[in-house]
Structures are given as C-alpha cells and as structure tokens.
C-alpha cells in the first residue's frame, strides 16, 4: 500500500506539467498534496475528480496561498482541518484523515521566512509544530497509528542538505528548527526515510536558480514521520527525485495494508 506526499508548488501549474500522468503512473492508495494554492472551484474537473479517487481540499483564506489536498482510493472515515486557532487554520495547512486505525496527517508546515526573508516567522512556525505535535500525541494515546506526511520546511541534520555551513542562519536549518525535529524524534516519531537510508545526497527540494536541481544541490525537507505503532507496518520509504513538476519532489512509504485494521 503506497502512501505519497508532494508539495506541488501550485496545483494548477503542476497539472500543466503532468500531475495527472504522475497520479496514473504511481497509483498511490493515499496522496497528500501541499501548497495547492487554489480553491476547488479554480481547478479542472480532471484534478477535482480523477477516476478511482476520493478528494478533499483545505484551502487557505488568502487567495493563491498555501492549501492542502488529499487523494485516497477509499473514502476517509472523517477529515479534520482545524488546530483550534484561527492563525493556523486560516492558512490551510492541515488535514487529519482517519482510515480505520490509521490517521494520516497531511501537513504543510510554515516557512520561517517573513516578507523580508528575515526569519520573522520562525516563532509562528515553531508554535505550529508544537501545537500539532500535542494534538497528534493525544491521538496516539487514543490508539491510532499515525503517519505525518508533508513539507516540514526543515532539514534535520547536516546530511539533509548539500550546503549546511552556508545555511546555518537560514530558516529551514536554524538550530531552533532542527531542535524541534529532535523533540519530535525524542517523543517517539520515526523519520521513515532515515530509518532505511543512512547515506548523503538525498534531497526533496531544490532552488529554481543556478541549475541547483541538475547539480543536486538540494535540501531534504519533505518527510513521512511515523508513530511507533504505525512504524510497525512501514516496509519501505523513498524519495522520487526524477518526478518533475514542482521545485519539491514526491516522497513516500509503502506500508502493510493491515495498518488500517
């Protein structure tokens, strides 16, 4: 059972670059999209209702900004989109979808950069992380098997970006952001990709400047995190850098279908 995540950097643009071909080729059981940047009424019927999929959207209040979407072969038992605070909910960053005992959190974590590229949104970003993790911890205690997939907007370790020394003061690799990933892992969350792959050179985002992608000068900021109960069912984790259409590429896991039971 394949579960994928992809920051599409605008779903309308990604459709023009082959999104539906990707969906048909990969045939995921569940696909979470981030940075959709469109309301449902702005999207084509082909994207809104591809054959064989149930689709749910959570757009931001601000037009052309943020937003997440979930594609799934079976209908979710329920989908929640609120953390209970308008400052988070208005940005359309979250879907919590139940499939039996599996909870899939499709999340577009905030970037710490303000309008002046000044790291002014880092406090907001960290508060979002902590508020979400507290909510998910309660769901874990309730017996759910939780997968958190999405663009975390943070590279955890030096191995997770090509130029760590040059980015020590850049949002996405600040000590306090990396410490927040440490805190999640200390709470039991498993970085599924690093569980299976310990080596360097694996990235999920590349700058659109200076041929960074062709030279593989990137960052690994897209993850599937698993609770311990969910990790028991994860068989493989991977990145799909060959998939074009966005400055991020898809990441995913293969899981035993019994994870839902």
Facing residues of 69 across strands? 33, 57
d(CA 127, CA 134): 11
d(CA 71, CA 152): 19
Sign of the torsion formed by the C-alpha atoms of 169, 172, 176 and 182? negative
d(CA 29, CA 36): 19
Strand-pair category, 30-34 with 54-58: unpaired
Secondary structure tally for the chain: helices H, strands E: 8, 14
User: What is the b/e burial string over 15-34, where b = at least 16 CB atoms within 10 angstroms of the residue's CB?
Assistant: beeebeebbeeeebbbbbbb
Active-site annotation, residues = 151
Element (H, E) at 71: strand 68-72
């Amino acid at each position: 059972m394949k579960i994928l995540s992809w920051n599409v950097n605008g779903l309308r643009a990604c459709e023009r670059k082959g999104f539906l071909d990707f969906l048909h080729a990969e045939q995921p059981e569940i696909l979470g999209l981030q940075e959709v940047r469109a309301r449902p009424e702005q999207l084509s019927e082909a994207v809104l209702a591809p054959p064989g999929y149930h689709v749910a959207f959570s757009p931001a209040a601000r037009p052309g900004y943020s937003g997440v979407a979930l594609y799934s072969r079976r209908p979710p038992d329920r989908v929640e989109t609120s953390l209970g605070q308008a400052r988070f909910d208005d940005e359309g960053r979250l879907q919590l979808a139940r499939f039996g005992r599996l909870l899939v959190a499709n999340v577009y974590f905030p970037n710490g950069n303000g309008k002046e590229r000044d790291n002014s949104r880092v406090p907001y970003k960290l508060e979002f992380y902590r508020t979400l993790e507290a909510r998910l911890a309660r769901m874990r205690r309730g017996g759910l098997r939780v997968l958190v997939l999405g663009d975390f907007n943070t590279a955890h370790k030096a191995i997770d970006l090509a130029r760590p020394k040059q980015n020590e003061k850049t949002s996405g690799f600040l000590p306090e952001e990396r410490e927040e990933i440490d805190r999640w892992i200390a709470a039991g969350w498993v970085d599924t990709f690093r569980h299976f792959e310990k080596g360097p050179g694996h990235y999920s985002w590349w700058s659109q400047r200076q041929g960074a992608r062709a030279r593989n000068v990137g960052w690994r900021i897209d993850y599937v995190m698993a609770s311990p109960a969910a990790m028991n069912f994860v068989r493989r984790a991977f990145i799909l850098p060959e998939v074009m259409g966005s400055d991020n590429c898809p990441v995913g896991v293969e899981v035993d279908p019994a994870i839902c039971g």
